[in-house]
Every structure is written in structure tokens, then in C-alpha cells.
């Protein structure tokens, strides 16, 4: 099942049609209703969800109660679970609390959505950012008066199309885009004073044709260089990196000027190889001795899609169970992913429960600050 977080700010956009240039704050909402304003956010959220009706059996929604999602999902016949009871009427803290639960960031929360879909404006985007930062991908359904943030689809229908692509296992780029908001009081005085509050990860439709006249191997080497540069630039000197087998990982090691084991696992720390061709016991010893972060860099077996269990059995279930999912970095060109023709990536460890834990949707590094979300697991 594709797990989709769903939050509506029912007051988003309430001030737009009545000339209030925003909807932030109880006083503005009260004035908007006094001027005869009608809620817009639920209607716009419905447009986004209409394109997903054919996939009802493939989606499990996590949502908030009442007008923040439950009522619309019930009306449209979707399967859902209410994970947050909202105030009546709802307040901005409800958005923050619900988003944190859906991202698995609250104490003992078992939830983590594949994508958090929300309807609102820039104020809502700020609340979502405050709650989840970059913990899960998000996508906004534009429903507010102010839409300066880059986390929103261009239309509600477009938001539905992006989610549909993900459900159909089509490649969807993962981009870091800005959360922006303006000073509403200044805006009402004719002054646009925008501020960036941060960035969130957003799935976006992407054309998978490389914009270059070069071809074949030359293009692929340029892409691999971008991937390697990104990994190298983001290495933390305190962390230990297990570099996997295969030519893509070998290229990364070459870019660092390091010897590598083409068909084995090497460990890199502070720009040096500290262990080569490691066994499972070697890796377990490393994990036991070093209490800091141990990160994994692996690639995809071309044409098959295996990331674990083919040529890297050293990365056993016992090893992988000690790593966080976010510490597993998968690197591959979009060409290699496209050659899978929609087949999911496969984790084939010796522990079915671990295989299932790693299933779902994972970020694949496909260039410099360029990512795609790709399904993992035979049932994904």
C-alpha cells in the first residue's frame, strides 16, 4: 500500500475572495466570515484527490479528524486512518501535530508516510516545515491566498498527477524547494516582504531526457561524476562510510583517489580507506567499536534492481538492522533506473522482516542535488 499523509487547512484561502490578502490569524478569519467568505481549501483538495479515485485499493491515507481531512476522505470513499484529533475549529498547532505524527517524529509513533500531501497556503507550508523539516517528502495543494513557496504543485489537479505517477511507480524527481512566506500586514499596505524559512523535499514531475548532444558512455560518465561529487561534498569527517560493490561505487572511490574492492565492501573514514574487502564480522566489529554514524553507499544491479543480496551478502540482516534507513545511500544514474522498466528495487537479505522494513519508497541519488523517489520491494 502507498501510504499518503493528508492534511487540509480548512481556513486556507478564506480571505482571498473578500480582499483580505491572507488568512493568517483568528481575527482575519473572523473578518473574512463576516464579509461572507466561503471555505475554499476542501474544494481544491477534492480536485487533487479526484485523480486518485481509480487507485483507492492501493492507497492508505493517514489524516486528521473532521475538516482537516477525515470528512473529505470519507465522502470520497477512500480508506483512511485518523491519527490526530483536531480542535473544533482547527488551529495551526493541529497541522504541526498531525504532520509530526505522520512523519514518525512523535514519541512511539509507528507512522511514516511515503509522501505528505497538504492543502493550504504559505502559512500552512511554514507549519509543515516546522513539523517535519526534511524528514519526509511533501507536496502542497495550492489553496491559500499567498503561494510563494516552491513546495506547491501549479494546480490542485497537477498535485494529483504527481501522486498518481508515484503510485504507478514512474520515476519522480525529489527536489529541495524553498518555504517562503510574506508579512501579511505589510502586504496589505502594498509592501511585499518575503522571507525564506527553509527547504523541504518535494516530489516533482521530471522529464528523463538528458539535455546534452553527447551520447552513450560519455553522458553516463558525466552523470556518475555528478553523483560522486555530491557524495564527496556531503561526507562528514566524523562518520564511517561503507562503500559497496559494483562499478558505480568503484567510480566514486576513484574520484576520491582511493583503492577499492570492486566486488567487496570497503570502509572510508576522513578520506582514507581504513578497511578493505570487509566480511560481515568485520562490519559488525566496526559497528560495535564506533558509536558514531556508520553510513552505507550502495548501487543498483543493472537490469535486475537488487540493492541487497546480490554481490554484497556481507551486508547481512544483522548488519542492516543496526543502520537507519536514512543512512543507506543508493546511487544510480536515471539511465540505469529506467532500464528496470518500472520494476522495484529488491532487498533480498536473510531476514524477511528486515526486507519488509526496508520496503516502500526510497531516495536514490541520481546527480548533484538530484534525486528520485523509487519503490523498494516486490509488493511496492
Same domain, 9 and 154: yes
Same domain, 161 and 251: no
Same domain, 343 and 224: yes
Q: Over range 1-21, report the average pLDDT.
A: 76
Total domains in the fold of the chain: 2
Residue 101 is assigned to a structural domain of this protein: yes
Q: Over range 254-260, report the average pLDDT.
A: 93
Last residue of a domain, one of 152, 171, 204: 204
Q: What was the pLDDT predicted at 205?
A: 64
Same domain, 135 and 278: no
CA 254 to chain centre: 30
Q: Identify the band that residue 211 occupies on the pLDDT scale cut at 50, 70 and 90.
A: very low
Residue 261 is assigned to a structural domain of this protein: yes
Residue 226 and residue 298: Cα distance in Å, rounded? 16
Same domain, 135 and 242: no
Same domain, 240 and 283: yes
The more confident residue out of 109 and 162 is 162
Last residue of a domain, one of 169, 204, 239: 204
Tens-digit pLDDT profile for residues 116-172: 999 998 889 999 999 999 899 999 998 876 677 888 887 788 889 889 999 998 878
Domain holding 198: CATH number? 3.40.50
Same domain, 39 and 172: yes
Residue 210 is assigned to a structural domain of this protein: no
Tens-digit pLDDT profile for residues 297-330: 999 988 778 898 877 888 888 899 999 888 999 9
Q: What is the CA radius of gyration of the chain?
A: 23
CA 360 to chain centre: 11
Collect all residues with Cβ–Cβ distance below 8 Å to 80 and sequence separation of at least 6. Answer: 6, 60, 61, 62, 63, 69, 70, 73, 74
DSSP assignment, residue 287?
A: H
Q: Looking at the predicted structure, is the pLDDT value of residue 210 above 50?
A: no
Same domain, 186 and 133: yes
Residue range(s) defining the domain that contains residue 370: 216-376
Residue 167 is assigned to a structural domain of this protein: yes
- The mean of the pLDDT values for the chain is 84
Same domain, 254 and 278: yes
Q: Identify the band that residue 263 occupies on the pLDDT scale cut at 50, 70 and 90.
A: confident
Last residue of a domain, one of 204, 233, 256: 204
Amino acid at each position: 500500500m502507498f501510504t499518503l499523509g493528508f492534511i487540509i487547512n480548512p481556513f486556507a484561502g478564506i480571505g482571498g475572495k473578500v480582499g483580505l490578502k491572507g488568512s493568517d490569524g483568528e481575527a482575519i478569519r473572523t473578518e473574512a466570515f463576516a464579509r461572507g467568505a466561503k471555505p475554499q481549501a476542501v474544494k481544491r483538495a477534492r480536485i487533487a484527490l479526484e485523480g486518485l479515485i481509480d487507485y483507492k485499493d492501493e492507497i492508505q491515507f493517514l489524516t486528521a479528524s473532521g475538516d482537516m481531512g477525515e470528512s473529505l476522505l470519507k465522502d470520497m470513499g477512500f480508506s483512511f486512518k485518523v491519527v490526530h484529533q483536531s480542535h473544533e475549529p482547527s488551529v495551526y498547532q493541529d497541522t504541526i501535530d498531525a504532520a509530526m505524527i505522520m512523519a514518525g517524529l512523535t514519541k512511539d509513533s509507528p507512522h511514516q508516510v511515503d509522501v505528505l500531501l497538504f492543502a493550504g497556503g504559505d502559512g500552512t507550508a511554514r507549519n509543515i516545515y516546522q513539523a517535519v523539516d526534511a524528514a519526509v517528502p511533501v507536496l502542497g495543494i495550492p489553496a491559500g491566498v499567498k503561494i510563494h513557496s516552491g513546495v506547491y504543485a501549479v494546480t490542485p489537479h497537477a498535485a494529483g498527477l504527481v501522486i498518481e505517477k508515484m503510485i504507478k511507480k514512474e520515476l519522480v524527481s525529489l527536489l529541495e524547494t524553498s518555504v517562503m512566506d510574506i508579512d501579511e500586514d505589510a502586504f496589505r499596505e502594498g509592501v511585499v516582504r518575503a522571507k525564506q524559512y527553509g527547504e523541504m523535499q518535494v516530489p516533482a514531475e521530471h522529464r528523463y531526457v538528458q539535455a546534452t548532444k553527447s551520447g552513450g558512455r560519455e553522458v553516463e560518465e558525466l552523470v556518475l561524476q555528478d553523483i560522486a561529487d555530491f557524495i564527496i561534498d556531503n561526507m562528514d569527517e566524523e562518520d564511517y562510510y561503507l562503500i559497496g560493490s559494483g562499478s558505480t561505487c568503484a567510480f566514486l572511490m576513484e574520484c576520491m583517489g582511493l583503492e577499492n574492492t570492486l566486488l567487496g565492501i570497503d570502509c572510508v573514514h576522513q578520506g582514507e580507506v581504513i578497511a578493505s574487502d570487509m566480511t560481515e564480522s568485520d562490519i559488525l566489529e566496526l559497528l560495535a567499536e564506533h558509536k558514531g554514524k556508520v553510513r552505507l553507499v550502495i548501487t543498483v544491479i543493472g537490469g535486475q534492481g537488487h540493492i541487497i543480496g546480490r554481490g554484497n551478502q556481507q551486508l547481512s540482516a544483522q548488519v542492516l538492522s543496526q543502520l537507519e534507513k536514512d543512512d543507506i545511500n543508493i546511487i544510480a544514474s536515471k539511465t540505469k533506473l529506467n532500464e528496470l522498466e518500472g520494476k522495484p528495487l529488491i532487498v533480498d537479505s536473510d531476514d524477511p522482516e528486515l526486507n519488509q522494513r526496508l520496503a516502500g519508497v526510497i531516495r536514490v541519488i541520481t546527480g548533484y542535488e538530484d534525486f528520485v523517489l523509487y519503490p523498494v520491494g516486490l509488493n511496492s
